[in-house]
Structures are given as C-alpha cells and as structure tokens.
Chain A
Amino acid sequence: MGFLLLAIPLIAVLLFSLMKKRLFLHAVSITASGLIMMIAVRITKDVIDYGKVEYAHYGGFFYLDSLSIIVLDIIFLIGFFVAVYSVQYLEEDVRRGKLDFKKVRLYYILMHLFLFTMILALTVKNMGIMWIAIEATTLASAFLVGFYNDRYALEAAWKYIIICSVGIAVAMLGIIFLHLSSIGVLESTELLSWTALMENAKGLKTGTARLAFIFILVGFGTKAGLAPMHTWLPDAHSQAPAPISALLSGVLLNSAMYGIIRMAAVVNKNLGSSIYTGRLLIAMGMLSIVTAAVFILTQKDYKRLLAYSSIEHMGVIAVAMGFFTPLSILGGLLHMINHSLTKSMLFLCSGSVLQKYETKHIFKTKGVLKLLPLSGTAFLLGLFAIAGTPPFSVFVSEFGIMMSIFEAGSYLIGAALAILFVIIFAGIAIALFRIFYGGNEVSGLEPGENNIPGALIILTLIVIIGVTGLRMPESIIGLIYEAQSIISGV
C-alpha cells in the first residue's frame, strides 16, 4: 500500500511523457494527486492506529511514523490543491502565448518528479537515502524555477541550483560524520538508519556527532531557507510559476526542516541535553526572523515579500525546535502545518493577481479587491493570517511557541520575538495592503476571476486555516503529540 505513494507519481510521469493532448495531461495530474490523497488517508489511519508503518521489502527502507506522516500529509494536500490550481493557470499562460504544449508537459513531468522526491525523502529511515532525495528535489525543481526562461528566471534558477547543491553537499559531509560516529555501534545492515541511530544514540561518539550536526544544520538549513544561507529563496520563490512557489514554500522547506529535526533529536539524545543544538538553532532562527523583518519592511515585489515571510516562519520553527521543551516542539510542529497551508494559499493568490495585472510590483497593482473579488478577499485575509492574527491557525501556533519560550525562562528571546512579530505585521500591512484598494481606472482591466477552480481551492484553504485555528481535529492533535514524543526520544 505504502509503495503506491512512491509509484503513482512515477507512473504519472511516464504517462505524461507519452501524451499528446493538454487535456489528458491535466486529467492525469489531478487523478494522480487525488489518488495519492486517498491512499494517504488510509496510511494515516494505519499510523494513528499502530504508531508506525514499516515494510520488510527491499531491505526495509520504507518507514513512516507520526512525525513523517504529518509532513507527508501536508505534501499530499498541497500537492493536490496545486495540481487543481495549475490547470487554469497553465491554460491562461498558453492563451497568452507564453507556453506551448511541450512546456506544459515539461511542467507536469517536473512537478510530479518534484513531488516524488519529496515523498521519498519522508518515507525512508535511512539518512543517506533521505539526503539523496532532498538533493533530488533541487534537481527536479531547478528547471521549474527557471520555467519562464527570461533573464530573471535564469538568474534565480542558477542561484538556486548552485547554492542549494553546495549546501546539500555540506549536509552530505555531516552525514558522513554521523556515519563515522556510529561505526562500531550499529550493525552493518542498519547503518545510517534513523531508528537504529535513535535507539543507540547514547553510544555514538560525541565529538563527531556534534560536528555532524553543524554540517547538517548548515546543509539542510540552506534548503530550509534559514539565514544566512537564505539568499536563493526570495529569487526562486518570486521567479517560479505561482503554483510551484506554493510547493517550494509550503512543502519543500518543511522537508528540509524535517531532516534537521531528525538529526537534532539524535544529537540531543546523545548529549543528554538540548543546549548545544538549541543554541545553534535559536541563533540561526532569530537571525532569519530579523533578516526577514528588515527585507519585508522595504519590499516592492509582493511575491518576494511572501518569500521573506517564509524565511521568517522557518526561523520561528527553528527557534521552537531549539528550545526543545515538549510545548515548544508541539508548537513548532503545529506551526509547520499552519505555515504551509497559509503560505501556499497566499502564493496561489499571488498567482491569480500576477496573471491579472502581469506585474509583481506592489505600486503598479491597485484595486485587487474590486478586480478579483474572491481570491482578492482571500489574499487579504490570508495576509492577516500569516501575520499572526486570531482566529487563524498561525496565531495559535505562534502563541504556543511564545508561551513555551516564556515558560522556559528566556524572557529576552520571547520579548525580541514579540517585537519582531509586530514589526513584520506592520511591514506586511504597510507594504501590501495598498494593493487591495484604489480604483481600476489606472489599470483599465476587467473585473472577474480568471481561474475559477483556483479560486475555489483558495477558498477551501482559507476555510481550513480558519477552522483549524479555532479547533484542530482530535486525530491530528494526537499525531502531533505522538510526533513530539518521538522527537523528544522518551
């Protein structure tokens, strides 16, 4: 059953390369991601019932527990939404002569390969294979970032592939040191396997494991967009087609963060305390939030602004994982879910706005609420949500993280975080709220949605983040608690 999760995207890719009509491409894409969603429901139920899903085939590489299923379910959900949204988005681009059939096919092939690599990264327990899959995400998405093939897109794609490949190579060095620290402790069949590492964490050589953590933090941190390795992120997110930006921001960053969390769990258990990893994670997280705050205040491009906001939220998750108290881990995991859903919704909205106005410049975009009544309203609400306004879900998790920080006694960091949240809220409000008002006489565009299915997807997402902000379903809360105890290693 679980292998279908990996097989379906690959079968879809195969089908895409055989097809001759755009309509079929769209249909296969939606069917594939819909099917995966259905299987995911079943697998999630298994994980809730039995705690983990493991198969003995092929050396037992397939492994799912509560932590991976949380991140994985976000991928499936957003993957499906993005597949639906892409249909009209691509059709609109085709209508304007920006794309031809071959490009559309390439888009779908790469998008499903991208999904496949992320699913692979999350369904294996071998840290080495996880590394391979995360490196492959860069390769699959590099051409998607440079999809429009103009000077800007190419610059973004080149930066993306060079910075991320080097970063990931550094993570490889970390994994080599992790391997080195476990030699003589693990059996030769379970080398690099995360479960075995976690079980025998106390036996690892401490010095090498600490070194490994630094390299993995820098390496996967590059991919997760933590400052100061974040420089590829605003470029890639702003130049990629909007649905791909939604995937990059909502899903890819989480997958990289997942690698860091797994590693931090092993090293913390080895050291017996979280001070070492905590300091590094908190320092990097705070730096990311500060960087994002500065750039959000002076931003002229709305997609870049959203990208910087992603850096901020990854920073928040890193800080939460740095504190490593049960409450902060819960908050961090919840924040992963909430940020992904909210940010992908915002990127999808930005896609609709971009296709309407054909500019990413904030000052050249006016009267979004009049021109795009549905997605414009959702965009406005989503901005409130991402800035941390109740009743949306991001507020809940940010509040939980703040509480845990004050409970841990770090008043200085808590206060700094509160001030930075306010600055970022003000930055988003000042920079972006002007696009919603004003008449359409300047632009002379017709009001109305171009992408009706897309608008419905956006509405679904805003309902989800509104409702989960008020009340998270019990089963998901249970999963998060389970994942928290896995990370804490108790």
Chain B
Amino acid sequence: MSSLFDTLSVMILLSSFVLMANKRIKSYIKTFRIQSMLIALAAGILGIQSVMEEGRIDVLVICFIIVVLKVIYIPKLMNKTYSSVEYKVEKDFIWNIPALVLACCALVVFTYFSISTIDGINEGFNNIQIVNSVSVILIGLFFMISRKKAIGQIIGFLVLENGIFITAMFSTNGMPFIVDMGIFIDMLTAVMIMGVMVFQISDKFDTINIDKLNKLKG
C-alpha cells in the first residue's frame, strides 16, 4: 500500500512541475484540476482503507468534498473569473520556463536534505511522501512569486494548500475531522474573496498585472 502512495505523491509532485512549465492561465487551471484529482484519488484510497480497518468514514467524506470543491467548483470559478477579466495574452512569468523548472528541482533537493535531518518524521528511512508533499508547498509558493497575474497568484495559493493537505494526509492520515472541514471552508472563502478582488483590480487598474500595484511604499 505504501508504494502506491509513494507513486501518487510523486505524480502530485510532477503535476506541480507541469504547472510551473505552463504558459497560459487556462492551462494553469487545467493542471490544478488534474492535481486535485490525484489528491482526491489518494484520499479515496486512504478513505476506503480506513473504512475497512476502523470503520471511519470521515476520510471518504473529505475525498468527496475535494472532488466537489477542488476538481469541479474552484476550477470553474477560476475559468469564469479569467474569461471575464482578461483581454489579451501576455507573457506572465519572471524568468524563462527552463530556469523556473530547474529552480523547482533545487527546491525538491533542498526539501529532501532538510527533512532528512529531522527526527520524528523519518523512522529509519527517508519518508519520501513527506518530502514530495513539502516540495509541492514550496513549488506553490515559488509559483506565486514567479507569476505576475493575479490569477496566477491564486492558483499558486491553491497549489500551496494542496501541498499542505497532502502533507497532513500522508504524515498523519489526516487531521481531526473538524479541523479539515474548517480548512476547506476557509479556503473556499479565501478563493472567493480573491476572485472578487480580481474583478475590482481589473476594474480600477484596467489590468490584472500586479506589477501595477506599486503605489504604497515606505
């Protein structure tokens, strides 16, 4: 079973590399949807396992919520926001794509070495699932820095949340149920507020390029 989760965590990590290599906002959203599907799959397997062994259904409920929220609703919301604010395709990233992907590789190596020094996470061997999921968090953070458009930042934030969710799932088999629920509600509200703000920014600044948000200094 653990090798299955290893594979899934590697695939989730790969999907965040793919995200970094995406050029258009439409493809960001698509990649995010694929990543969420992978996470839902992992949660589903874990959920079935916990139903069989302990009779708990909460992980399955969470899997269902992921499918509804992250695979269906949020990508739809993002697509809607995007199609109503964007007028033309521009270059959206700070460095060129190969450099960004190389930087992501460096992040994974960094995570590997920093996690391997911490006791309590590794019982005798390196826990590859935690390395992968923490790398997803860092790549999400880096994605937020590397994109200039407001929607790019929202997607980066969502990937970061995905990373945190799988860290929780792989390391501890999920947080207490109420905490997980709270995280979902918070995240959904955050994304909705950010979406509304994207409209307002596009309205006042005539662009969603956040380089233009540079009035407040000092």
Interface string of A299-328 (1 = CB under 8 A from B): 110001000000000000000000000000
**B213–A166 touching, CB < 8 Å:** no
Measured between beta carbons, the chain B residues less than 8 angstroms from A181 are: 120
**A146–B197 touching, CB < 8 Å:** yes
B53 part of interface (Cβ distance < 8 Å): no
**A207–B172 touching, CB < 8 Å:** no
**B218–A295 touching, CB < 8 Å:** yes
Interface size on B, residues (CB 8 A): 41
**A205–B120 touching, CB < 8 Å:** yes
Could you tell me the distance in whole angstroms from the C-beta of B53 to the nearest C-beta in chain A? 14
Measured between beta carbons, the chain A residues less than 8 angstroms from B1 are: none
A238 part of interface (Cβ distance < 8 Å): yes
Please measure, in the bound complex, the distance between the C-alpha atom of A126 and the C-alpha atom of B176, giving whole angstroms. Answer: 10
A-B CB pair tally, cutoff 8 Å = 129
Q: Which residue from chain B places its CB closest to the CB of A156 in the assembled complex?
A: B216
Interface string of A201-215 (1 = CB under 8 A from B): 000011111110000
Measured between beta carbons, the chain A residues less than 8 angstroms from B183 are: 132, 172
B171 part of interface (Cβ distance < 8 Å): yes
Measured between beta carbons, the chain B residues less than 8 angstroms from A415 are: none
A387 part of interface (Cβ distance < 8 Å): no
Given A139-B186, A158-B210: A207 and B201 within 8 A (CB)?
no
Please measure, in the bound complex, the distance between the C-alpha atom of A300 and the C-alpha atom of B186, giving whole angstroms. Answer: 36
**B120–A161 touching, CB < 8 Å:** no
Most buried by B among A152, A172, A205: A172
The A244-274 residues at the B interface (CB cut-off 8 A) are none
**A180–B179 touching, CB < 8 Å:** no
Please measure, in the bound complex, the distance between the C-alpha atom of A132 and the C-alpha atom of B179, giving whole angstroms. Answer: 7
Could you tell me the distance in whole angstroms from the C-beta of B121 to the nearest C-beta in chain A? 6
Interface string of A271-309 (1 = CB under 8 A from B): 000000000000000000000000100111000100000
Interface string of B179-211 (1 = CB under 8 A from A): 100110110011001100100110011000010
Please measure, in the bound complex, the distance between the C-alpha atom of A175 and the C-alpha atom of B175, giving whole angstroms. Answer: 10
Could you tell me the distance in whole angstroms from the C-beta of B37 to the nearest C-beta in chain A? 21
B interface, CB within 8 angstroms of A: 118-121, 134, 137, 141, 144, 150, 153, 157, 160-161, 164, 167-168, 171-172, 175-176, 178-179, 182-183, 185-186, 189-190, 193-194, 197, 200-201, 204-205, 210, 213-216, 218
